[in-house]
Amino acid sequence: MSSKVAIVTGAASGIGRSIAEALRLELTPEDERAISHVPVKDTEAWECVLRARHEIWTGTENSIRKAMEHLQAAHTLVGENEAVLSALSEAEFMLPHVTGEGMEDQPARLREIANRILALDPSSSVGHLTKGLALAKSRGSFPESLQEFRRAATLDSSDPSILVMHAYFAALVGFDEEGLRISEKVVSLDPLSPVARLNRSFILFLTGNQEAAALEAERAVMLDPTSPYFRWGQVMPLAQLRRLDEIRRSAAAVRDLPTDNFGRIVMLYEAALQNRPLDPFLTPELLATARHDETFSLSLAECMAQVGRLDEALDWLENALSFGLINPGFLGGGDVLLEPLRGEPRFHALLERARNMVREIGLDGEADLSEGEEWWM
């Protein structure tokens, strides 16, 4: 969609076209399609969806539960709807990361939502996005999940929710240029979105540009300073740079907020970089989440490596690989916090395993979908 009419997307079609005409904008065919497509035609229900999306990416337990209430209200008003179900899938994706509850059966819940969306429209971009999320949380299914995100982006190249996942999972498996290009597009679509900024920060983090990653994460925090989610994203590159004073400030900020997994990891990094005990922060909730998440597993591996708990660090690093964190450049030298592991034979075996996984995906990122499709059915 051209930037000229991006501001009217999501408005009622008549209003959007009137604005374009009043401003004497030249509409492309893509712009015409965007203006004519209203995701939720009931105004009250659409407002519920917009409120829900804001609450989801605030990233706290209370905000996500509020989002689910908004989405239930929207569903009551309009029934089965792609936009409502897509927002629900994002809420179901985020909440277990915050609380640690429901991570084990999360793929089944996301799969059920994906099937509901695809029943409405088999070519739905958000249906393929949700299918990708279900596969992403299933151990060993990351090649198939990346393909689903790519399919979703092909169907809708202007949906920030799709592009965020596309960029992240591309960089996760080592397709750095793809991740950088897509994350830059997300920021250009919505430069005032903290989620867009944090996504860009994660991609830069995975590609080894920690100074730029820290700067983007700082922008995300400035846009939403009360969210432990954005503080967590900020601390990851700061830890690579060993900017302890800034990490201490983030840790102090999350201590005044309700405790959740993102806040625990912020405080975990602060403890690890000062060689303090980690166990007070390794709660059952955090461990339950990390067992089913690549980035949490990486954070635990990094922090344990810093305090000399090398066997545990290698266990968590292996878990991160099983959920798709196989970027060889990042693991092989880009992540300075893993340096204590690089003399371990097991680390070199894991790195070679990661390289082989990337080779199996192939240079174009295409994977054999037969096993994933069988799982899905």
Taking alpha carbons only, the member of 322, 314, 311, 321 closest to residue 347 is 314
Reported as a single tens digit per residue, the pLDDT across 265-289 is 999 999 999 999 999 999 999 999 9
Q: Which positions ≥6 away from 299 have C-beta within 8 Å? A: 236, 265, 268, 269, 290
Predicted confidence (pLDDT) at residue 30 exceeds the cutoff of 80? no
Question: Between the CA of residue 217 and those of 73, 174, 220, 268, 356, what are the distances in Å?
Answer: 33, 21, 5, 18, 31
Predicted confidence at residue 41, as pLDDT, reads: 79
- Token pair of 116, please? 């509901």
In this predicted structure, what is the pLDDT of residue 259? 82
User: What's the mean per-residue pLDDT of the chain?
Assistant: 87
Domains of the chain: 39-376 (1.25.40.10)
CA–CA gap between residue 132 and residue 72 (Å, rounded): 23
Distances (CA, A) of 277 to 91, 272, 307, 318: 33, 7, 8, 22
C-beta neighbour count of 211 within 10 angstroms = 10
278/39 Cα distance (integer angstroms) = 46
Residues in the chain, overall count:
377
| pLDDT computed for residue 38 by the predictor | 55
Separation CA 296–CA 319 (nearest Å): 10
Per-residue model confidence as pLDDT tens digits over 323-335 = 999 999 999 999 9
Q: Which of 296, 354, 366 is nearest to 322 (CA)?
A: 354
Supply the pLDDT for residue 24: 45
Res 186: pLDDT: 95
* Tally of CB atoms within 10 A around 312: 17
Q: What average pLDDT does range 69-95 have in this prediction?
A: 95
Of 306 and 226, which is predicted with more confidence? 306
Task: Tell me the C-alpha distance between 220 and 332, whole Å.
Answer: 28
